[in-house]
Amino acid sequence: MSMPQCEMCGADESSLTTTKVEGAELELCENCQGFGTTVETQESSSSTSKYSTSSSSGTSGSSGGSTGGSTGSGGSTRRKKDMFDDMDELAGDYDDRIREAREAESLTQEELANQLNEKASLIRKLERGDILPSDDVKAKLEKKLEITLTEGADVDDTEWSSGSGQSMTLGDVVERKD
Protein backbone atom coordinates (compact mmCIF):
# COMPACT_ATOMS: atom_id res chain seq x y z
CA MET A 1 0.00 0.00 0.00
CA SER A 2 1.31 3.44 -0.85
CA MET A 3 0.90 6.38 1.48
CA PRO A 4 -1.17 9.38 0.38
CA GLN A 5 0.84 12.10 -1.32
CA CYS A 6 0.77 15.84 -0.65
CA GLU A 7 -0.91 17.49 -3.66
CA MET A 8 1.55 20.40 -3.60
CA CYS A 9 5.03 18.94 -2.98
CA GLY A 10 4.37 15.23 -3.61
CA ALA A 11 5.74 14.07 -0.25
CA ASP A 12 4.43 10.75 1.09
CA GLU A 13 2.71 11.51 4.40
CA SER A 14 0.59 9.36 6.66
CA SER A 15 -1.84 12.21 7.41
CA LEU A 16 -2.81 15.05 5.11
CA THR A 17 -4.97 18.06 5.91
CA THR A 18 -7.56 19.55 3.57
CA THR A 19 -6.35 23.10 2.91
CA LYS A 20 -7.87 25.82 0.75
CA VAL A 21 -5.22 27.42 -1.53
CA GLU A 22 -6.29 30.08 -4.09
CA GLY A 23 -9.86 28.78 -4.00
CA ALA A 24 -8.97 25.10 -4.53
CA GLU A 25 -9.15 22.49 -1.79
CA LEU A 26 -5.96 20.40 -1.69
CA GLU A 27 -4.73 17.58 0.52
CA LEU A 28 -1.48 19.01 1.95
CA CYS A 29 1.29 17.85 4.29
CA GLU A 30 2.32 19.86 7.35
CA ASN A 31 5.08 21.69 5.44
CA CYS A 32 2.72 22.98 2.72
CA GLN A 33 -0.27 23.90 4.93
CA GLY A 34 1.13 27.42 5.38
CA PHE A 35 0.32 28.24 1.73
CA GLY A 36 -3.43 28.27 2.42
CA THR A 37 -6.10 28.10 5.09
CA THR A 38 -7.17 24.86 6.71
CA VAL A 39 -10.73 23.80 5.84
CA GLU A 40 -12.77 22.87 8.88
CA THR A 41 -14.31 19.44 8.45
CA GLN A 42 -17.88 18.60 9.45
CA GLU A 43 -16.84 16.75 12.63
CA SER A 44 -14.48 19.37 14.05
CA SER A 45 -16.64 22.43 13.36
CA SER A 46 -18.63 23.98 16.16
CA SER A 47 -22.32 23.24 16.48
CA THR A 48 -23.34 26.90 16.03
CA SER A 49 -23.00 26.72 12.24
CA LYS A 50 -24.35 23.88 10.12
CA TYR A 51 -22.09 24.88 7.17
CA SER A 52 -18.43 24.06 7.81
CA THR A 53 -17.03 26.67 5.41
CA SER A 54 -19.46 29.53 6.04
CA SER A 55 -18.12 32.79 7.39
CA SER A 56 -19.03 34.35 10.71
CA SER A 57 -21.65 36.53 9.03
CA GLY A 58 -24.21 33.72 9.31
CA THR A 59 -25.99 31.45 6.85
CA SER A 60 -29.00 33.64 6.07
CA GLY A 61 -26.90 36.42 4.53
CA SER A 62 -24.91 34.15 2.22
CA SER A 63 -27.82 32.06 0.96
CA GLY A 64 -30.12 35.05 0.49
CA GLY A 65 -27.45 36.97 -1.38
CA SER A 66 -26.74 34.21 -3.87
CA THR A 67 -30.36 33.57 -4.85
CA GLY A 68 -31.24 37.25 -5.07
CA GLY A 69 -28.13 38.03 -7.08
CA SER A 70 -28.62 35.37 -9.75
CA THR A 71 -32.23 36.29 -10.55
CA GLY A 72 -31.55 40.02 -10.65
CA SER A 73 -28.49 39.90 -12.92
CA GLY A 74 -30.08 38.04 -15.81
CA GLY A 75 -28.98 34.50 -15.01
CA SER A 76 -25.71 32.75 -15.71
CA THR A 77 -25.61 33.39 -19.46
CA ARG A 78 -23.62 36.63 -19.09
CA ARG A 79 -19.89 36.11 -18.72
CA LYS A 80 -18.31 37.72 -15.70
CA LYS A 81 -16.20 40.75 -16.64
CA ASP A 82 -12.53 40.20 -15.96
CA MET A 83 -9.43 42.39 -15.89
CA PHE A 84 -8.43 41.47 -19.44
CA ASP A 85 -11.56 43.07 -20.93
CA ASP A 86 -10.12 46.56 -20.37
CA MET A 87 -6.62 45.76 -21.57
CA ASP A 88 -5.40 46.68 -25.02
CA GLU A 89 -3.39 44.00 -26.74
CA LEU A 90 0.30 44.72 -27.22
CA ALA A 91 1.12 45.03 -30.91
CA GLY A 92 2.94 42.06 -32.38
CA ASP A 93 5.58 44.34 -33.89
CA TYR A 94 6.08 46.50 -30.78
CA ASP A 95 9.85 45.90 -31.01
CA ASP A 96 10.02 47.28 -34.58
CA ARG A 97 7.82 50.24 -33.66
CA ILE A 98 10.13 51.21 -30.80
CA ARG A 99 13.30 50.82 -32.86
CA GLU A 100 11.95 52.69 -35.92
CA ALA A 101 10.58 55.55 -33.81
CA ARG A 102 13.87 55.84 -31.89
CA GLU A 103 15.89 55.91 -35.12
CA ALA A 104 13.52 58.50 -36.61
CA GLU A 105 14.33 60.74 -33.61
CA SER A 106 18.08 60.10 -34.24
CA LEU A 107 18.50 58.75 -30.71
CA THR A 108 20.81 55.98 -29.57
CA GLN A 109 19.45 53.31 -27.25
CA GLU A 110 21.45 54.89 -24.41
CA GLU A 111 20.08 58.39 -25.10
CA LEU A 112 16.49 57.12 -25.19
CA ALA A 113 17.05 55.15 -21.98
CA ASN A 114 18.44 58.24 -20.22
CA GLN A 115 15.48 60.37 -21.30
CA LEU A 116 13.06 57.73 -19.99
CA ASN A 117 15.10 57.22 -16.80
CA GLU A 118 15.50 53.53 -17.70
CA LYS A 119 18.48 51.27 -18.39
CA ALA A 120 19.88 50.96 -21.93
CA SER A 121 19.79 47.17 -21.55
CA LEU A 122 16.00 47.40 -21.18
CA ILE A 123 15.70 49.31 -24.48
CA ARG A 124 17.94 46.73 -26.19
CA LYS A 125 15.81 43.84 -24.90
CA LEU A 126 12.59 45.58 -25.95
CA GLU A 127 13.89 46.25 -29.46
CA ARG A 128 14.99 42.62 -29.82
CA GLY A 129 11.56 41.47 -28.62
CA ASP A 130 13.14 39.55 -25.73
CA ILE A 131 10.83 41.06 -23.12
CA LEU A 132 7.46 42.80 -23.05
CA PRO A 133 7.31 46.37 -21.76
CA SER A 134 5.62 46.98 -18.43
CA ASP A 135 2.62 49.34 -18.47
CA ASP A 136 4.82 52.07 -17.00
CA VAL A 137 7.59 51.71 -19.61
CA LYS A 138 5.03 51.34 -22.42
CA ALA A 139 3.40 54.65 -21.43
CA LYS A 140 6.78 56.42 -21.30
CA LEU A 141 7.81 55.07 -24.73
CA GLU A 142 4.47 55.99 -26.32
CA LYS A 143 4.64 59.53 -24.95
CA LYS A 144 8.32 60.14 -25.75
CA LEU A 145 8.34 58.59 -29.25
CA GLU A 146 4.73 59.59 -30.09
CA ILE A 147 3.82 56.04 -31.07
CA THR A 148 1.23 53.49 -29.99
CA LEU A 149 2.31 50.03 -28.91
CA THR A 150 -1.15 48.54 -28.57
CA GLU A 151 -3.64 47.07 -30.97
CA GLY A 152 -7.11 48.05 -29.82
CA ALA A 153 -10.39 46.83 -31.22
CA ASP A 154 -10.36 49.62 -33.82
CA VAL A 155 -7.20 48.29 -35.51
CA ASP A 156 -8.10 45.55 -37.98
CA ASP A 157 -4.85 43.58 -38.06
CA THR A 158 -3.62 45.64 -41.00
CA GLU A 159 -0.03 45.18 -39.87
CA TRP A 160 -0.46 41.42 -39.94
CA SER A 161 -2.06 41.06 -43.36
CA SER A 162 0.16 42.59 -46.00
CA GLY A 163 -1.12 43.53 -49.43
CA SER A 164 0.72 40.63 -51.07
CA GLY A 165 -1.78 38.13 -49.68
CA GLN A 166 0.79 36.29 -47.57
CA SER A 167 -0.24 35.68 -43.99
CA MET A 168 2.27 35.83 -41.17
CA THR A 169 3.02 32.76 -39.11
CA LEU A 170 4.47 32.41 -35.66
CA GLY A 171 7.82 31.61 -37.28
CA ASP A 172 7.88 35.07 -38.87
CA VAL A 173 7.57 36.75 -35.49
CA VAL A 174 9.65 34.55 -33.16
CA GLU A 175 13.44 34.69 -33.14
CA ARG A 176 14.97 31.27 -32.62
CA LYS A 177 17.85 30.96 -30.20
CA ASP A 178 19.77 28.01 -31.71
Domain range annotation of the chain = 1-42, 89-155
Which one of 3.30.930.10, 1.10.260.40, 3.40.50.12500, 2.40.50.140 gives the CATH number of domain 89-155? 1.10.260.40
Backbone angles phi, psi at 25, to 5 degrees: -95, 120
Residue 66: the pLDDT is: 44
Q: What is the pLDDT of residues 137-160, one digit of tens each?
A: 999 999 999 999 888 644 444 454
Residue 45: the pLDDT is: 41
Q: Is the pTM of this model over 0.85?
A: no
Averaged pLDDT, groups of 10, the chain, 178 residues long:
81 86 85 83 48 48 44 55 65 90 93 93 92 90 90 51 60 72
Amino acid at 175: E
DSSP 8-state assignment for residue 12: B
